[in-house]
Amino acid sequence: MRTLVLSLVVVFSLTELMQDTSGSPRRYRRCQEGQSYTVPRGIEPGSPIQVVAKAVTSANQQTYVRKDVSVLSQAEIDALRKGVEVMKARDAKDKTSWLYQANIHGTTDDPLLEGWAQCQHGSYFFFSWHRMYLYYFERILRKASGDPNLALPYWNWSLPSQRALPAIFRMPADPDTNSLFVAERNQSTGNQDGINDGAELPGPATSYAAAFARTNFFSSPGSGLSFGGQQIPGPEHQIRPHGKLESQPHDILHGLIGGDGWMGDPDFAARDPIFWLHHANIDRLWKRWLDQGGRQNPLTDKVWMTTKFSFFDEDGNKVELAGKDILDTVAQLGYRYDDDPPPNIVALIGHQNPAREVAVNKPKILFRLEKKGELGLQQSTVPVPLSKELLTNVRSAISEKKTLILAVDDIRFEKNPGVYYEVYLNLPEKTEPDPHSIFHIGNLGFFSRKAHAPKGHKVAFDITQAVQALQKANAWNDKELKVSFVMRGLIPPKGKRALHKEGKRAEFSGISLSVQ
């Protein structure tokens, strides 16, 4: 029997909520119920909010709660380890085995078996495909663990207290006794004090502020200036450019965690157990982005809504899902995150007038500097001359409220270096690089399918606000732009220091300016 549960619409102000200052993100407690509720970032107490108790059909189906890995009980950790261990022990051709599931994301194995190498990177399918992928993996893991309540945890690396790889993934450091441990991770601090030894992710690398500032889910073909990626006519396995959240923190952290090991390469990333917690957090951030208000999924885009992707369930049966099937994780997929609104409650913050699903125009190239550059240990700067015509175009773009884009073109590397580069515009000499300054325009990472492919990849930055800020601060130069690259890596464990070696990590063939 299916039960229809209906509740009344309740409208109240956040001033009616009492703040719990125990941590971040902010949690508020409804006085009359004593129930915690996480208020999305950017929404302040006193802002009008409409909370609607959603009509839900239920068949007594359990809703699994995906928890922050830092709060798992020992029993939950044991179940997680057992599930991974059982999956790893299965024959590689078993569709519910660890290797088979990992190869669905990507692989260099030949021949390709059914369902392998189909991950969606670099398009607006990125979020939906990975949600489907995690959903069926979680079901397989649950059955393998023998724990009917197991849910996939997430790694909330944005919190300062959780910047190190969760201890259960690195201790004990023996794959025979700890199924969550793999040696194929980043040791790029140069003195063997890498991610498995307690090195931490740099705080700026975990930031999703630039992605959350985007209100459009998708952008036009060839543009990554959106939260979710470029619109394409159909599925494509690993293309460019990447959307804003995929670029950072997703890509940057893949490289920092994996280096030239598994997590640093899309063809091997899912072999590392931490992959699944990393992507659970990415999936969680998709929900938190929607909570900001004025944002929505591409509900009227027929391709996104109806394109089907194939996976395998816990019994090895082939199954299919489309975008329309994964919009509501509770009602459709039976899971929620521990910082979601309470069950059956949907917070509609600004959804009364949601953002339009507008894809911005394709970028128009204004200028391309054909000049090879190297990225190494030391800070490097590339001057970009501004002709009168180019300067006029830049000024016109600003006055017409268009978007200026600076791109680093044709980036090539032999292996993922396990670092990333902060990119600055007109950084003054002898000025300490600061990612919070007006000179910082973004970060460049190396999570790409083929490290030494015939054609390198491009990373683009929206420099519109940076140019305006530089002009206002009298730090603009009408004759040239100076693009600087500063290498950053893992933060060594306390008491240790990074000993990075000199040498080239990557190279690029030029820098271009476009308008959109």
DSSP letters, 279-302, are HHHHHHHHHHHHHTSS----TT-H
β-bridge pairing 404-411 and 506-515: antiparallel
Q: What's the pLDDT at 54?
A: 36
Residue 159 lies in a domain: yes
Residues 485 and 413 in one domain: yes
CA distance 69 to 131: 18
Q: What's the pLDDT at 360?
A: 58
End residue of a domain, out of 12, 37, 58: 58
State pTM to two decimals: 0.88
Q: What's the pLDDT at 36?
A: 37
Report whether 5 contacts 52 (CB < 8 A).
Answer: no
End residue of a domain, out of 348, 375, 393: 348
Residues 15 and 102 in one domain: no
Q: What's the pLDDT at 348?
A: 45
Residues 50 and 179 in one domain: no
Residue 356 lies in a domain: no
Q: What's the pLDDT at 46?
A: 32
> b/e for 488-513, b at 16 or more Cβ within 10 A?
bbbbbeeeeeeebeeeebbbbbbbbb
CA distance 506 to 419: 11
Give a three-class secondary structure readout of 2-28.
Answer: CEEECCCEEEEEHHHEEEECCCCCCEE
CA distance 485 to 487: 7
Residues 447 and 383 in one domain: yes
Q: What's the pLDDT at 20?
A: 34
Mean pLDDT per block of 10 residues along the chain (516 residues) reads: 37 32 34 35 34 40 96 98 98 98 97 97 98 98 98 98 98 97 87 88 97 97 95 95 97 97 97 98 98 95 98 98 98 97 54 49 89 96 96 94 95 94 97 97 87 77 97 96 97 86 94 95
Residues 298 and 331 in one domain: yes
Number of domains in the chain: 3
What are the CA-CA distances from residue 125 to residues 10, 118, 245, 437 (Å)? 34, 11, 13, 33
Burial level of 251, CB count in 10 A (0-12/13-18/19+)?
Answer: buried
Q: What's the pLDDT at 2?
A: 39
The letter for the amino acid at 319 is: V
CA distance 442 to 461: 6
Report whether 222 contacts 232 (CB < 8 A).
Answer: no
Residues 454 and 381 in one domain: yes
Closest CA to 127 of 274, 252, 279: 279
Residue 405 lies in a domain: yes
Q: What's the pLDDT at 343?
A: 56
Residues 106 and 27 in one domain: no
CA distance 279 to 268: 14
Q: What's the pLDDT at 353?
A: 46
CA distance 514 to 390: 10
End residue of a domain, out of 43, 58, 73: 58
- Provide the domain limits for residue 246: 64-348
Residues 112 and 235 in one domain: yes
Residue 165 lies in a domain: yes
CATH of the domain at 463: 2.60.120
Residues 105 and 223 in one domain: yes
CATH of the domain at 109: 1.10.1280.10
Residues 461 and 436 in one domain: yes
Residue 358 lies in a domain: no
Token pair, residue 435, equals 């990612």
Residues 368 and 507 in one domain: yes
Residues 409 and 285 in one domain: no
The letter for the amino acid at 414 is: E
Cα 450 from chain centroid (whole Å): 20
Residue 354 lies in a domain: no
Residue 463 lies in a domain: yes
Residue 357 lies in a domain: no
Q: How many CB atoms lie within 10 A of CB 60?
A: 7
β-bridge pairing 480-488 and 420-425: antiparallel
> b/e for 432-458, b at 16 or more Cβ within 10 A?
ebebeebbbbbbbbbbbbebeeeebbb
Q: What's the pLDDT at 496?
A: 85
